[in-house]
Structure 1
Amino acid sequence: MNAYVPLILFTVLTNAAAQLMLKRGMSGLGAFDLAHDGLIGTVFRVVFNPFVFAGLCTFVVSMASHLIVLSKVQISYAYPFLSLAYVVVAAYAYFVFHEDLSPTRVAGIGLIVLGTVFIAQS
């Protein structure tokens, strides 16, 4: 199973990258006005935002790699690694988006990493 860790980590990183692109895209869109744009107009505005579109495409790549992983390793081994995406997203959000990273969150991140290390060694 350890032979698939690089592919699992690729899945994690593409998942995190997709989340970050979606956040960047949605932050740039501003408020929605369904009364003015309508539902269809709003959906097009969201989906065709370059960052949102790139994020959705990156999710497809992440899901494809995850499907490959699931065909090769036990889900109880592979799935917990996805929690590492939270670690990547939280760190990026702190340094780039200047979001809060409280001591409690840092402790939680530490537990996530520790748990993933335990699972990787099992």
Structure 2
Amino acid sequence: MMFTLIIVLSVFFSSSSQLLLKKGAETLVIPSVFTLETIYRLSINIISNIYLVGGVLFQVIALLVWIYVLKKVDVSYAYPFISLGFVFVIFMGYLLYNEPIGYIKLAGSLIICIGVFILSKAN
């Protein structure tokens, strides 16, 4: 049970990373022509964007937690939990970005959750 929570924590950080990266990407202005000056400005904008930096930091945290998980549990147990990231991002996309959730996404999310539950009981 403890490792399941740690796995879900890794998925949470990985999924949250994507949401932060999206928020940061929305503020970037990508130049139409790349010169040394525009690349420099873009680089400064990227490294000074708290959402992009946070997204990268969350991804690093997710990676470190995931490495710990792989050291402790079978990959065949841990890996199916990654699909919960899809479910998390669908619902957080709705809450944070007002992205639509239709019946197909709801049904797919339910199928994913049932599949992860079944696979977690197989070990």
TM-score if structure 2 supplies the norm length?
0.88
Alpha-carbon distance in structure 1 between the residues aligned to 2:108 and 2:47: 33
Post-superposition CA distance 1:26-48 (Å, at most 9, x none): 1122x311526533432332233
Post-superposition CA distance 1:74-118 (Å, at most 9, x none): 111111101111111110111220001121111111111010001
| Matching of residue 88 in structure 1 with residue 88 in structure 2 | yes
Q: Note the aligned Cα RMSD (angstroms).
A: 1.6
Give the ranges of 4+ consecutive aligned residues of structure 1 lying more than 4 Å apart after TM superposition. none
Q: Paired residue for 1:35?
A: 33
Matches within 5 A, 1:1-122: 2-29=1-28, 31-35=29-33, 38-122=38-122
Task: State the identity %.
Answer: 26
Letter of the 1:82 counterpart: I
- In structure 2, stretches of 5+ residues that fail to align are none
TM-score if structure 1 supplies the norm length?
0.89
Matched positions, count: 120
Comparing 34-43 with 58-67, greater Cα deviation is found at 34-43
